[in-house]
Amino acid sequence: MKKMILLAAFAMLASNAMAMSRHDSSSLTCSAIHDKIAQEGSIVLRYPSHRDPNLMMYNRYVANSMSCIGQGSMSSATVPTRDDPNCKVRMCNPVTGKGPNKNH
């Protein structure tokens, strides 16, 4: 029974991730990204790495802490956009017990 519940939860999370819109952050303005996040609740943004611009990164950005339930706590981040190299957004960070995750 536990396996069935876990499989159902995984399928639901996977279907939500597949339905989530994905965007190249550098093709949008900061305001457009904020609008999309507000409308959809969360989106995936693709952007060049701060350390190596040839490496593309991606992450999920959220409208509020409700989007982080079961996935950690909400934290601030920045992504490069067409009009702002440091557009402020929010994301979920896993809670590991080892302090904040500083991978950006």
Distance between CA atoms of residues 64 and 86, nearest Å = 19
pLDDT value of residue 102? 55
44: DSSP letter: E
How many other CB atoms sit within 10 Å of the CB of residue 93?
19
- Contact criterion met (CB below 8 Å) for 40 and 102: no
Q: Which of 48, 62, 66 is nearest to 91 (CA)?
A: 62
List, in sequence order, every beta strand (DSSP E) within the chain: 22-24, 42-48, 56-62, 73-79, 87-93
- Write the pLDDT tens digit of every residue in 83-93: 999 999 999 99
Band the pLDDT of 39: cuts 50, 70, 90: very high
Percent of the chain residues topping a pLDDT of 90: 60
